[in-house]
Amino acid sequence: MEDIIVCVKQVPNTTKVKLDPVNHTILREGVESIINPFDDFALEEALFLKKKFNLKVSALTMGPNQALEVLNYCLSKGADEAYLLTDKKLAGSDTLATARSLAALIKKLGYKVIFCGQESIDSSTGHIGPSIGEFLNIPQVTHIEKILNYENEVVKVKEKNEFGYNIIKVKLPAIFSFLKSKKKLKRGIYSKDTKNIKVFSLKDIDIDENLVGLMGSPTRVVKIDVDDTIDYFLKVDSNLTAIERIKIILKGGIEEKKDRLVYKEINNTIISKLIQIIK
Amino acid sequence: MSNYFEKLFSEFKIKNVLLRNRIVFLPHYTALATMDGTPSEKEIYYYTERAKGGVGLIISGNYAVSKSGQMHRTFINASDQKVIPVFSKITKRVHNYGSKIFGQITHAGPTKMEKPQSDLWSPSQIIEGSSGTHTMKIDEEEINEVKHAFEKSSKNLIESGFDGVEVKIAHDGILRAFLSPHYNKREDKYGGSFENRARLSVEVLKLIRKSIGFEYPIGIRLCMDEFEDDGYKLEDAIRFAKYLEQNQLIDYINVDAGTTWLSYIMQIPPMSIPLGYSEYMSASLKRHISLPVIAFGRINDPVQAEMILQNESADLIGMARQLICDPETPKKAKKGDVDGIRKCIACMDGCVGQCIQFQPIRCIQNPAVGKEKFFGINKLKKTSNRKRIVVVGGGVAGLKFSEIAAKRGHEIVLYEKNNFLGGQLNLLKKIPFRNEFSEILRYLEFQLVKYKNIEINLGFEVKKENILAVNPDVIIIATGSQRYIPQEFQALNTYSSIEVLSGEWNEGKNIIIYDKLAKNEGLGVAEYITEYYDNAKITFITPANNAGEDINFLNLDILYRKLFESNFKCIPYHEILKVKDEKLIFVNKYSRREFIINKYDSFIYIGDIISVDNLFWELKGNAKELYRIGDAKAPRLVELAINDADNLARSI
């Protein structure tokens, strides 16, 4: 298999983010930055393949200098190289401009296998993977749970859909977007170290500066709304059969599975919080 | 306004009826009426008691609109003029204590309680699922009769001074049957499409509005989910509610779920069902309509009630059993005395358990239920003859006696041989479907610490000489009972329920339970084992017709759901003959054919219980006043221990 480049994003830890109740904007102050968990799964899969096929894994991100923390995280987990694309003119890029910039750098670096997370936890658009694919004019596969096999330039993947799975074969070069899976992730270390990071700016990539940054971004965020319909009680899906509905009520939305408890629709209830404290 | 529960104790208006708080006493059958369906004096005191306790709104009810609409002849027939005098007394007294009162009317339709069942009025002819009885498809004249019965009854209610009328389209009754695709297979204008199925309800509501005028609120109790695969679900109920709201036919909705009898556990949820399980139903409804919504479903706590209101899941909080158990819940909550509230544990033995046998409503924790005239709020008289009383035993009987006697001003010294109070309640609460029995203990312990005239001695086993030396005025023997396994059934690995529940046994994989009693204890132990011991395989043998035959069928429903999901097998009709050489020999009760179990790991014998009453017999004749209560008198249910204690403490 060819060498892999993994696109990663630095995101605020959204489990700790609060929303400004008046302006409805995200209050990022004092909130730590982490690797987008979806990207972490993509990286994990790449590192798994690295061992298996003895190939090279690189990490790529675009953002301000601070974003090198997440690249160091990737290196500490076992990535071989890390690229930071940073430029003041890139500030304010939406998903279209970001994908355009990343695609240009990937093309310059010459990678044929591109991994990324299905979406980011701070904006959840899911645009980046497919957009890079379009800019590079290569096949894209999304919602991947795992890579099943690789043989003769053909990658076999397990793609999750609403009803189950599709098994898809795709010929390289291609871009793959990964979901979070049940796999236990290896932890990396965030640091501000600069020495192993290769830094690129806008002049290194062959691109019209009017097509990136704020200028090249047609998306405008009109308003962010707080979802105030969070439910603090057990919910029961009407599509289940009567017996299943009664069963969920009887068990209070908690199901025991071998060694763990599974919560069904009770994430915000006092009970779920108590269980977490007891655990 | 209360400082403690801001929303719960804020006023609320339904149409033009102003309620002093958000707590609603939900309608239910009480079996307090006479055999010809007229309300009795007991009914007056029953509702007055709840008004005294501070409830905002009482919806009294399950009143039938005609003779054909009675589920049993003890259901009040509200279309009969002779109900008006008693109804008027109820409404007058309830108003005197500051509560408002609505009356709920229904026609039983295809659901009746008597056996064998008489005519079951139904939209279509089907087999009524719980009884196997074929229903009667009613014709247009009978439909008209039903409509006019509703009209007539609503008039009687208003004439009797009720503040509003509630129409039952809930867990039972003909109106829900018409709405339900499970019951309604008609092809005329009352069946088929949604509008057609809703037609009878709409016509009834219109007719009531016409007859009582616009000033009185009309509400419905609405079943939100029939829990039948071909019945209607949450979305259908919401659609119906919106339809009624758009046509301005109703002023509030009282939420409800399940059906009598097929999914009864969703209607009157037993202890195994989590508190507030149905909040999602009222919340979903409230998001689609702007009419006031009343929540229901195991709400027994003011904190929980306030949270439901703060979550905006409902506008009002419905409680039935909680206010049966402790009518003063609203008053106590308002004062902030939350721990002083005696919470309903949903045991199903007192209220529902009695009513389904057409016996007057009771409560295992509140002996005053149905007897409010004599034992209700403020009926406990201080004693003029203060006595020194020794209570031996700190189980439920001893504690209850001490509570009531102390409230009356007697001086109590209580001895308990263990280092903790509660006796068998401490084991009972380990059984999953009985776990809230711990509330009984919590409540009683909390009461006892409030009174200075009670002295509690733990870890003290009382002998005859100790007591005689103290020379008290009264001696109460509440020493409980113990399990007894006859010699012929003893094997190496034979255990009693007490040993199992206290963990003093060698469990194994293959467990045989012999249940001679067919009551809560046997299946309770089985449930406990399946819950806490993985891989246990239980063979449950009983002389009864099925496992736990005597258990209230609502609890049994849930127990069976759990047990049959695990490794559980029942062999009915078999008695134990003997245990010989570690082999268990059983015999079929009818054929006397024997069968032998050779291989098993443990054998649990549920049967004989004997009173621990030696002290009673020793003291007999030597004491001034000597009484025994609870299991020391005879091993019985918690309810009877509480009753013994309450009755005695009031008379001493």
- Using the predicted structure, report yes or no on whether residue B339 has a pLDDT greater than 90: yes
Mean pLDDT of B167-180: 95
The residue to which tokens 């074969």 are assigned: A169
Nearest C-alpha of chain A: how many angstroms from B535? 12
- Please check whether residue A202 is in contact with residue A209, taking contact to mean a CB–CB distance below 8 angstroms: yes
* Higher per-residue confidence, B325 vs B488: B325
Angle between helices B638-651 and B396-407 (to 10 degrees): 30
Residue of chain B nearest A247, judged by CA positions: B561
Confidence band of A23 (pLDDT split at 50, 70, 90): low
| CB atoms near residue B354 (< 10 Å) | 20
| Residue B581 banded pLDDT, cuts 50, 70, 90 | confident
Summarised one tens digit per residue, pLDDT across range B27-60 is 999 999 988 889 999 999 999 999 999 999 999 9
Nearest CB partner across the interface for A242, out of B229, B235, B561 = B229
Residue to test with chain A: of B224, B264, B280, B306, most A Cβ within 10 A: B280
Task: Give pTM, 2 decimals.
Answer: 0.78
Chain B residues in contact with A247 (beta carbon < 8 A): 561
**CA-CA-CA-CA torsion sign (B166, B169, B172, B178):** positive
Q: How far is B533 from chain A (nearest CA, A)?
A: 14
Q: CA of B231: which chain A residue's CA is closest? A: A242
Query: Which of A190-194, B39-43, B591-595 is predicted least confidently?
Result: A190-194
Sign of CA dihedral B190, B192, B194, B197: positive
Percent over 90 (pLDDT), chain B: 86
With 60 as the cut, is the pLDDT of residue B154 above it? yes
ipTM for this model: 0.88
- A16 — pLDDT class (breaks 50, 70, 90): low
- Chain B residues closer than 8 Å to A234 by CB: 274, 277, 279-280
Q: Contact B488/B513 with Cβ under 8 angstroms?
A: no
**What pLDDT, on the 0 to 100 scale, is given for residue B537?**
95
Candidates A231, A234, A238; nearest CB to B235: A238
Token pair, residue B218, equals 């009309």
Query: What amino acid is encoded at B479 in this protein?
Result: T
Per-residue pLDDT, A279? 63
Q: Which of B63, B61, B60, B50 is nearest to B21 (CA)?
A: B50
pLDDT at A275 over 90: no
| Interchain CB contacts (distance < 8 Å): A and B | 49
Check whether B359 has a pLDDT greater than 90.
yes
Mutate to test the interface with A, among B226, B275, B279 (most CBs of A within 10 A): B279
Partner-chain residue, chosen from A231, A250, A271, that has the shortest CB–CB distance to B273: A250
Taking the C-alpha atoms of residue A45 and residue A49, their distance in angstroms, rounded to an integer, is 6
Question: Average pLDDT, stretch B588-593?
Answer: 95
Q: Per-residue DSSP letters for B218-249?
A: EEEEEES----TTS--HHHHHHHHHHHHHTT-
Residues of A in contact with B266 (CB under 8 A): 246, 249
Q: Which residues of A touch B238 (CB under 8 A)?
A: none
For residue B446, name the pLDDT band (cuts at 50, 70, 90): very high
Cβ distance B283 to A231 less than 8 Å, yes or no, reads yes
Give me the percent of chain B exceeding a pLDDT of 70. 100
The average pLDDT across B263-289 equals 93
Least confident segment among A79-83, A224-228, B178-182, B553-557: A224-228
Q: Which residue of B has its CA nearest to A231?
A: B311
Residues of A in contact with B311 (CB under 8 A): 231-233
Residues B516/B606, Cβ–Cβ less than 8 Å: yes
Q: What is the DSSP string of B95-151?
A: HHTT-EEEEEEE--TT---SSS----EESS--EETTTTEEPEE--HHHHHHHHHHHH
Best residue in A229, A230, A244, A246 for a mutation probing chain B (most B CBs within 10 Å): A246
Which domains can be identified in chain B, with CATH numbers?
2-375 (3.20.20.70), 388-480+612-651 (3.40.50.720), 483-610 (3.50.50.60)
- Given a cut of 80, whether residue A26 has pLDDT beyond it is no
CA distance B170 to chain A (A): 17
Q: How many beta carbons lie within 10 A of that of residue B78, not counting itself?
A: 32
Chain B residues touching A269 at Cβ < 8 A: none
Low-confidence winner among A37-46, A72-81, A183-192, B4-13 (lowest mean pLDDT):
A183-192
- Rounded mean pLDDT of B406-424? 95
Comparing A9-18, B162-171, B511-520, which segment has the lowest mean pLDDT? A9-18
Of the candidate ranges A144-148, A231-235, B343-347, B415-419, the one whose mean pLDDT is the lowest: A231-235
Structure tokens at B142: 């009978």
Q: Which chain B residue shows the shortest CA-CA distance from A268? A: B311
Mutation for B interface: A227, A230, A232, A233, most B CBs within 10 A = A233
Distance from CA of A41 to the nearest CA of B (A): 35
For residue A246, the chain B residues in CB contact (below 8 A) are 227, 263, 265-266, 561
Is B227–A242 a contact, with Cβ atoms under 8 angstroms apart? yes
Q: How far apart are CA B488 and CA B446, in angstroms?
A: 44
pLDDT at B637: 92
A236 Cα distance to chain centroid: 30
Nearest chain A residue to B309 by CA distance is A232
Amino acid B63: pLDDT: 96
Supply the pLDDT for residue A123.
80
Q: Which chain A residues contact residue B272 at CB under 8 A?
A: 250
Mutate to test the interface with A, among B182, B227, B281 (most CBs of A within 10 A): B227
Segment B432-446 mean pLDDT: 95
Closest CB from A234, A246, A252 relative to B266: A246
Residue from B395, B410, B506, B393 nearest B451 by CA:
B410
In this model, does residue B593 exceed pLDDT 80?
Answer: yes
Q: Test A231 with B280 for CB contact under 8 angstroms.
A: yes
Can you give the pLDDT at residue B1? 45
Supply the angle between the helices B84-96 and B140-159 in degrees, to the nearest 10: 50
Of the candidates B231, B311, B561, which has its C-beta nearest A250's C-beta?
A: B561
The chain B residue lying nearest A232, using CA atoms, is: B311
What is the rounded average pLDDT for all residues in chain B?
94
C-alpha distances out from residue A157 to A37, A39, A141, A166, B641, Å = 20, 17, 8, 8, 67
